[in-house]
Amino acid sequence: MTGRVRDLVLALLLAALAAAAGLGAHALLVDVRTPEPTVIGDRVQRAADAFAAGDHVYVAADAHDLLPPDAAARLEELAAGSEVPVRVAVWEDSTDAGYRGIWDAVGQLQRVADDEGVFVLYTGPGDGVVDDNLEGPLEGDIPSDFNGDPERRLSEIVTAVAASSEGPASDWSYWGGTGGAIAAGLLYGGVAIPVLLLVIGLVRLALGRRFRMVGGWT
């Protein structure tokens, strides 16, 4: 009887260790599957630093002719008033500035900013991108082209973002919530148990021992 209690305690201890190992295995899997991130260059880093410091509008040193300081100040005020967080980066287009394309740059900005919101990257009349990393869908009509006067167009975009709202995040869950996840875990584990016992038996056979272990289930 005491042997049974001791074995139960040990088995529960093993289960706790295995749960931690399961979390580690999942983290490892995520690590392996995650695409290699790109190296953040100084251009993106400066914009991200400005956003982290609380700025809503960042104009690179080469882009003050695109968006002069007084225009940037007006846009900053507009962006600061938006309920949906919005960040605007403005810089001259270049192939040699540390990122491949503006989609890569805006992706880097979102990654480094580590903050949810709508990110606008403007590189001159006709060129730019609006992207968001909000949890829920952005519900609103955001202009998707960047034609016309920079300040006017960026103001229109920021105004449209301010007028939009973040929809409720989808509560759809692949596993069907916590209960579903536990059930799925039990199911997968249940399938794995006979497989593992079979493997143990085959290893025992390979070692020249009997397939069945001594003792029983009780």
Partner 1 sequence: MTDADTVESIAAALRDDPVLVHELLGNGRTDEVHDALSGLVEDLADQGVPAYVALVQTPDADLPSSADDAGDTLLRLIHQELGEPGLYVVATQDTLTAVATYDVPLDATSISLGRYDAVQAARDDLPEGEFVPAAGEAAVLLSVAADDDLSLTPGEVDDLMDSGPWVAAYGDEPMSYELDDARGEPETPLVFAVAFALVALVVGWRLLRARTAWAGGATSEPRTRRARPDGPLPRPRTPPQPRIDTTRKQARKLLAALRREVDGSLQPVTDEVHGSLEAAEDLVDSESRIEVVAALVLAEQGAGRLRGDELPVRCYFDPRHGPTQRRVVVSDVSLPACGACAEAVAADVPPASLTTDDGKRPYWRADSIWAATGLGSLDPDLWRLVAERQR
Residue 177 contacts partner 1 per CB under 8 A: yes
Question: Site for partner 1 (CB under 8 A): which residue of 184, 202, 203, 205?
Answer: 184
3-state secondary structure of 140: coil
Verify binding: residue 173, partner 1, rule CB under 8 A. Answer: yes
Separation between Cα atoms, residue 55 and residue 119, nearest integer Å:
12
The residue (of 36 and 70) whose beta carbon lies closer to partner 1 is 36
Rule CB under 8 A: which of 18-47 touch partner 1? 18-23, 25-27, 29-30, 33-44, 46
- Beta bridge mates, 121: 89, 129
Least distance (Å) between residue 81 CB and partner 1: 26
Which distant-in-sequence residues (6+ apart) come within 8 Å of 111 by Cβ? Answer: 37, 40
**One of 169, 197, 202, 203 touching partner 1 (CB under 8 A):** 197
- The reply on whether position 174 binds partner 1 by CB under 8 A is yes
**Shortest Cβ 215–partner 1 spacing (Å):** 3
Our CB check for partner 1 shows the closer of 163 and 203 to be: 203
Tokens 């529960």 — which residue? 12
* Contact between 178 and partner 1 per CB under 8 A: yes
Structure tokens at 48: 């991200």
Cα–Cα distances (Å) from 206 to 19, 124, 210, in that order, read: 29, 70, 9
Alpha-carbon distance of 21 to 14, in angstroms, equals: 10
11 makes contact with partner 1 (CB under 8 A): yes
- Kindly identify the residues of this chain, within the stretch 113-142, that bind partner 1 according to CB under 8 A: 133
Nearer to partner 1, 74 or 111 (CB): 111
Chain positions 71 to 110 lying near partner 1, rule: CB under 8 A, are: 91-100, 103-105, 107-108, 110
Distance CA 92, CA 65 (A): 10
CA 81 to chain centre: 26
- The answer to whether 146 touches 128, Cβ cutoff 8 Å, is yes
Report the alpha-carbon distance of residue 208 to residue 202 in Å, rounded: 10
Judged by CB under 8 A, the residue of 12, 163, 169, 205 near partner 1 is 12
- Binding of residue 17 to partner 1 (CB under 8 A): yes
| Residue among 163, 169, 200, 203 that touches partner 1 (CB under 8 A) | 200
